[in-house]
Amino acid sequence: MFAQRMIPADDCAVTPDHVDAFVKQTCEVIVGKNRAVKLAVACLLARGHLLIEDIPGVGKTTLSQALARSLALAFQRIQFTSDLLPADILGNSIFDRHEQRFVFHRGPLFSQVVLIDEVNRATPKTQSALLEAMEEQHISIDGVTYQLPEPFFVIATQNPQTAVGTFPLPESQLDRFLMRIELGVPERASERAMLLGMDRREMLKELKPVISPRTLFEIQDNVRNVHASAALLDYLQDLLDASRQRHTTGLSPRAGLALLHASQAWALMNGRDMVLPEDLQAIGIAVMGHRLGHDIAQPGQSGRTLADNLLHSVPVP
Amino acid sequence: MRLSKSRSSRRTQQWKDTTIPRRPLLWLAAALLFTLPPMLGNLASWVAWFFLLALALKFWMEPRGYRLRSTILKLILACLMLGAIFLSYGTLKGIEPGVSLLAVLVSLKILEAHTAREFQMIVMMAWVLCLCGFLLSQDFAVAFCLFVASALLIAALVQFHRGSSPGAFWVPLVTTFKLLAQAAPVVVLLFLLFPRINTGLQLRIGDFHAAMTGFSDRLSPGGIATLANSSEIAFRAEFPDSRTGPAGPLYWRGVVMWRCEGMEWRGPYSPTSISDSSRRYPARDKAIRQRITIAPHGLRWMFALDRPFGIPSGAMLARGNYLYSVRPIRKPRRYEVLSSIEPIDKELDAYERRQALQLPASITPAVSELAASWATHDSEPRAIVKSALQFFRTQGFRYSVSPGEYNKNDLEEFLFHRRTGFCEHYAASFATLMRLAGIPARVVVGYLGGEYNDLGGFFLVRQADTHAWCEVWIPDHGWMRVDPTTAVAPDRAGLDLSSFLASRVASGEMATGRGALLTRLTRLALVNQIRSIWEALNYQWDTRVLGFDADVQDVFLTSLGLTKSGPLPLAMQVLIVIFVLLIIYAGWMQLRTRRRVDRIQALYERYCQKLARIGVRRDPCEGPVDFEKRATQSLPSASKYVRQITETYIALRYAPEPAVISVDKFAKEINAFTAHT
């Protein structure tokens, strides 16, 4: 694909040490998926949430666990099913007989890295409860607002929407994920390495934290300081304009912000203090793909193809 | 189930997409309204009404989603219209049926239209309609309307393509104005240089409606009175030597009538030409130069003050000293002529004397006796003229626009009983009486006076100023002008007819008849001011624009140094000039847009061009780093420079503080680049 042609997958040239080590360690667990791992890290550094769309068994859970462990963050995994209720993930108020009052019992969402498995299996009610929490970073129950921990990073996995018994996420909710990536089946050599190597579960246990939460905050702050020049913003806006002209629902302003933050994170990961058009192109498909996937006027075109077309047709100013 | 639902939803979607948005439709409607004026009065009246009806219907139908759908209905309507046009004109050939057909078809198209393509088609058809308007009339007012119409059509197109972007009024107008301003130089150039085709006017533009206006070669009682209400323009006259012209009333002679039939007079059927060359030209200070622009009247009269000299080309001097055009005047015509102040004829030849004394057999004894009584009293011609005028002055004659019906034999009735008449009655009866008294006399029909336009410095003469007067032969003087009307209404000669009538109304001598409001309005200074501005503009339009025909263009081109070379080489020259101008324009535009792109970008593009020349072409969507990689791979020798240039470029364009490196350094790097490769 386009971005892959532009920037080789294993291009991890000059990264700041921490991020470099972080990426490297994760890449050891998820073999041969360097690019997907880098995108996932960029998403985390840009303070966004990640959606992984792929068939079961390609390492979605492993990836999210590896990320959580390398960062020494609290990790929770929630399996979404069709009978899951909002209270099951947010928490419940239960009457405490000793204290004679209702006590709020926090649900599994109160964690730093939350892996939502098969997010499209839950009913829209539960989905929207989750997505609201993701956007607001807090939960309001019974008139009390509970702040979610920082950092708060949601990795949701999703089966391809052709699968039976799913509730596809509506556009408005897809927009809240900064990126959508696909892991895909590994190459033959990588798969062989995986087959020969240690058990992944063992490896996860042995992972050591490489970035403290505090360092992560610093890096996240630095991401926002990466310089985006007027020329780059021109390019970004050209992309947005082009998407709005071509598609019935073009990219939203939130998508514009997402593009900017993700490309800043990517630039930082590549050891630069400024964003280049290449950074935008590298994260372009992951950020725009799921946002463009709903064009009624062009049915049968996947969002990734549409995003790819955009990147291929909007000239770099 | 699901399938059918989606299909129906798709249909509604299409339905919604294919209505014409309201705002462009409003612009279009406004434009179409401005194409109406030339139709009014020139086409069958129902055409304009149908056109209006279609427009109104469209506004009623469009929000409701109605339109003309059925093919059969459309066919029937088209056939009906075709039939109606045939019935109205009796033919389908010619300009008016053709334009009617176009107007009707545009109306039907409006009812049918619902897609973007059809909207644009209507706009195109409306432009053709504008052009056709010029076939019907070339008045300044019409031209103005059609100009507005075509501008509004541009605005309609602009608004149509802007979709629902904000600003539906000023933005399209401003764009339209810009477009027109850009087109103006080309228009002026084409106007000046485009070859005028003089092929005898096979289209015969202007040779239809009311082909003949003004007086004819027959002066019958009541003939001129019918023109008294006509505000149509006859001609405009300028006096190049003295702005306001000579003092005294202006008698513009049109035709001289020799043949007397009592109260009715006739001009010659085909006037005989008399030679101009044998006459002695008057001295410069004894002549009045006039520049006259005739409005087309379909006849051959050309106008000048008494005793014209310097006959313009295409005209001849007819017996009786008046100008006569070789061809009927069907388009505005401009010419210069001199008029001598002093009398020129010294002798009356036998033929003219016979002509000027011819009398009909139907003269009654009472009339003959009246004339004879003057002649026996004093045989000196001047005395006879004087006593005749005295007769009109003292015997209770009245001047009136509507004196009632007279027959050509009613001379006695007029002279002794009713004694009410308009100028033609006085002129005819006076000349007949003179002949009865033995004095050679003739009637002249033309115009008297004219309204002076301060702004344009010209006299505007309308059909209402048509006048008839007499000329009598005085042996030692020659032909002398006598206007018997002034004996009855002494101030008529000093004023144009409408002011004269107004003064009559004011002094209570006449009842406020027609157009009392109009008369009152014309007394307002502001209205007069606007009217005179409008007329000055009209004059400029007629003389400068419509009058710019092949001859004038020839003179203009010769003055530019372009020799007369026939229409085809001229067309080639024009095309070449336009082509060169377009190239200059395109170059200028290119330069202007280039200037906007900042210098860094321009330099980088130059570098890309240099690389492209050696085979590494940058994809427009390729970022600088990717391009650098590709370039270094395919040009390892230049890799050092490529890397350096890219680094500088990124630092200048994307880095937080681009001022660290100067642009000049970048320019130097790029200039040096060719040398390395």
Q: Please give the pLDDT value at position B146.
A: 92
Query: The tokens 């092949």 sit on which residue?
Result: B550
Per residue in B70-114, pLDDT (tens digit) is 888 889 999 999 999 888 888 888 888 888 889 998 898 888 888
In the DSSP assignment, the letter for residue B284 is G
CA distance B474 to B348: 10
A278–B625 C-beta distance less than 8 A? yes
Coil vs helix vs strand at A107: coil
The total of structural domains in chain A comes to: 1
A274 closest CB neighbour out of B621, B622, B655: B655
Chain A residues close to B650, C-beta within 8 Å: 274, 276
Domain residues of chain B, as ranges? 12-193, 219-277+284-490, 599-676
**How far is Cα B100 from Cα B40, in angstroms, rounded to an integer?**
11
Does B599 contact chain A (CB < 8 Å)?
Answer: no
Q: Do B654 and A316 touch (CB under 8 A)?
A: no
What local confidence, expressed as pLDDT, does residue A298 receive? 56
CB contacts under 8 A, B 477-516 vs A, are: none
Please give the pLDDT value at position B414.
87
Cβ–Cβ pairs < 8 A, chains A and B: 49
> For B137-157, what is the mean pLDDT?
89
Residue in chain B nearest A279 by alpha carbon: B623
Residues on chain B touching A277 (C-beta within 8 angstroms): 623-624
- Reply yes or no on whether the pLDDT at B209 is more than 60: no
Q: Which residues, including other chains, have CB under 8 Å from residue A97's CB and lie 6 or more apart?
A: none
B611 versus B6: the higher-pLDDT residue is B611
The whole domain housing A188 covers: 2-313
pLDDT band (50, 70, 90) for residue B199:
very low
Q: Is A274 on the interface with B (CB under 8 A)?
A: yes
Q: Is the peptide bond before A151 cis (omega within 30 degrees of 0)?
A: yes
Contact criterion met (CB < 8 Å) for B621 and A314: yes
Output the domain CATH number for residue A306: 3.40.50.300
Which one of B622, B654, B658 has the shortest CB-CB distance to A232? B654
Which residues are CB-contacts of A316 (< 8 A; sequence separation ≥ 6)?
A235, A277, B620, B621, B622, B623, B624
Measured between CA atoms, the residue of chain A closest to residue B620 is A315
Residue-level pLDDT at B2: 40
Out of B621, B655, B656, name the one closest to residue A313 (CB).
B621
Q: Count other Cβ atoms within 10 Å, centred on residue B411.
A: 28
Residues of A in contact with B624 (CB under 8 A): 276-278, 316
Q: Does residue A277 belong to the interface with chain B, where contact is any CB pair within 8 Å? A: yes
Range B47-53 contact pairs with CB under 8 angstroms and sequence separation of 24 or more: B47/B85, B47/B100, B47/B103, B47/B104, B48/B103, B50/B81, B50/B103, B50/B104, B50/B107, B51/B103, B51/B104, B51/B106, B51/B107, B53/B107
In the prediction, which pLDDT does B419 show?
86
- Would an 8 Å CB–CB cutoff place A231 in contact with chain B? yes
Residues B459-480, mean pLDDT to the nearest whole number? 88
Cβ atoms of B435 and B481 closer than 8 Å: no
* pLDDT band at B6; cut points 50, 70, 90: very low
- Give the pLDDT of residue B155: 92
Give the pLDDT confidence score for residue B126 in this predicted structure: 92
Q: What is the pLDDT of residue B181?
A: 93
Query: In A71-208, which residue ranges form alpha helices assigned H by DSSP?
Result: 86-90, 124-136, 171-174, 188-196, 200-206
Cross-chain residue pair B626–A232, CB shorter than 8 Å? no
Q: Is A275's Cβ below 8 Å from some Cβ in B?
A: yes
Of the candidates B620, B624, B654, the beta carbon closest to that of A229 is on B654
Model confidence pLDDT, tens digit, residues A64-82: 888 888 888 888 888 888 8
- pLDDT of residue B592 exceeding 60, the answer is yes
Interface membership of B577 toward A (CB under 8 Å): no
The Cα-based distances of B617 to A8, B622, B657 in angstroms read 20, 10, 29
The CATH fold of domain B219-277+284-490: C8orf32 fold (3.10.620)
Average pLDDT, chain B: 80
Residue B106: other Cβ atoms inside 10 A: 21
Range with lowest mean pLDDT among A51-65, B536-550, B652-666: B652-666
Interface check A30 vs B, CB under 8 A: no
Write down the pLDDT at residue B83.
Answer: 92
Q: Extract the residue ranges of chain A whose pLDDT is less than 70.
A: 1-16, 161-163, 294-301
Residue B623 is nearest to which of A229, A273, A316, comparing CB atoms? A316
Alpha carbons B194 and B571: distance in angstroms, whole number: 7
Select the more confidently predicted residue: B352 or A9. B352
pLDDT of residue B520: 62
Helix, strand and coil content of chain A, in percent to the nearest 5, comes to: 50, 15, 35
Residues of A whose CB is below 8 A from B656: 227, 229, 273-274
CA distance B654 to chain A (A): 5
Please tell me the predicted confidence (pLDDT) of residue B524. Answer: 72
Report how far residue B677's alpha carbon sits from residue B674's, in angstroms, rounded to the nearest whole number: 5
Residue of B nearest to A275 (CA): B654
Q: Do B620 and A315 touch (CB under 8 A)?
A: yes
Inter-chain CB proximity A275 and B654 less than 8 Å: yes
A37 token code pair: 């791992």
**How large is the average pLDDT for residues B113-126?**
87
Contact B623 A281 (CB under 8 A): yes
Band (pLDDT 50/70/90 cuts) for residue B567 is low
Per-residue pLDDT of A85-109, as tens digits, reads 888 888 888 888 888 888 888 888 8
For residue A290, give every residue at least 6 positions away whose Cβ sits within 8 Å of its Cβ, in sequence order, or none. A51, A53, A174, A177, A180, A303
Percent of chain B surpassing pLDDT 70: 86
Pairing of strands B322-325, B301-302: antiparallel
Nearest CA in chain A to B650: A276
- Which residues 132-151 on chain B approach chain A with CB closer than 8 angstroms? none
pLDDT score for B494: 60
pLDDT, position B615:
80
Amino acid at B32: L
Which pLDDT tens digit goes with each residue over B611-629? 888 888 888 888 888 888 8
For residue B651, give how far its alpha carbon lies from the nearest alpha carbon of chain A (Å).
9
Res. B4: pLDDT tops 50: no
**Partner-chain contact B656 A274, CB within 8 Å:** yes
Report the C-alpha gap between B235 and B251 in whole angstroms. 13
Predicted pLDDT at B593: 60
